[in-house]
Amino acid sequence: MRNQRVLLLVEIAIFAALGYVLDLIGFGMPQGGSVTFVLVPVILIAFRRGVVAGLVTGFLIGLLQVATGNAYFAPLSFIFVVLQVGIDYFIAFMVAGFAGFFRPAFMKALENKDTKKMITAVIAGTFVAAFLRYLAHVTSGILFFSEYAGDQNPILYSVIYNSTYMIPVFLVAAFICTVLFVKAPRLLLPNRV
């Protein structure tokens, strides 16, 4: 039992480190934001170990970004910076762990060898991860970056701005996770690798 707990903690640490590195790889969008592969390890651990492991992994990725100086802080007062960082880094990556809610559906489809339902579960989990992250960034944009909207509606500006990079992030993560999970489902079985 104790070895299983240690193994889980090691897996979470490895996936968080991998997520941090994968967040550095990608391409920036013209107006800001970047398309990276950061969601893939969070979704993988969430499908492998469940929602809590996914939440912890996402939180650690945000912590690594802030600790290493890879986080962008809005030019606001200290209290607002803490709230902005909390939403944009800790919450935004943490909520991606909710992809794990689709783990049981994937495992049942895997057991029944139903590839179509496996793909559906992966895409649904990836959508939830990307959408919840998107909502966190939109909320932060409305609360802390509204001055960039100029004379435009700040809510609409944040919705559009964040979709310019989050839609590609979702599509890339959905493609990678679908191929990876369907072709190598043993990656999602905690007792096998």
Judge whether residue 102 has pLDDT over 80. Answer: yes
**What's the rounded mean pLDDT across residues 37-49?**
96
Residue whose entry in the numeric block shows the structure tokens 């990276």: 36
Residue 31 — pLDDT band, cuts 50, 70, 90?
Answer: low
**What's the rounded mean pLDDT across residues 62-68?**
89
Q: How far is CA 139 from CA 75, 84, 95, 119, 132, in A?
A: 17, 9, 14, 30, 11
How far apart CA 56 and CA 25 sit, in angstroms, is 22
Q: Taking a C-beta distance cutoff of 8 angstroms, is the pair 87, 136 a contact?
A: yes
Check residue 158 and give its pLDDT: 93
Judge whether residue 193 has pLDDT over 60. Answer: no
How far is Cα of residue 48 from the mean position of the Cα atoms in its chain?
A: 15
Please report the DSSP string for 129-140 in residue order.
HHHHHHHHHHHH
Check residue 81 and give its pLDDT: 75
**What's the rounded mean pLDDT across residues 34-57?**
95
Average pLDDT across the chain, whole number: 90
How far apart CA 146 and CA 130 sit, in angstroms, is 22
Q: Taking a C-beta distance cutoff of 8 angstroms, is the pair 163, 134 a contact?
A: yes
Domains and CATH numbers, the chain: 2-188 (1.10.1760.20)
How far is Cα of residue 184 from the mean position of the Cα atoms in its chain?
A: 21
**What's the rounded mean pLDDT across residues 61-75?**
78
pLDDT tens string 116-130:
999 999 999 999 999
pTM over 0.85: yes
Judge whether residue 70 has pLDDT over 80. Answer: no
Higher pLDDT, 8 or 33: 8
pLDDT tens string 163-176:
999 999 999 999 99
Number of H helices, E strands in the chain: 8, 2
Q: Taking a C-beta distance cutoff of 8 angstroms, is the pair 58, 43 a contact?
A: no
Residue 192 — pLDDT band, cuts 50, 70, 90?
Answer: low
**What's the rounded mean pLDDT across residues 5-14?**
93
Judge whether residue 85 has pLDDT over 70. Answer: yes
- Percent over 70 (pLDDT), the chain: 91
Check residue 75 and give its pLDDT: 60
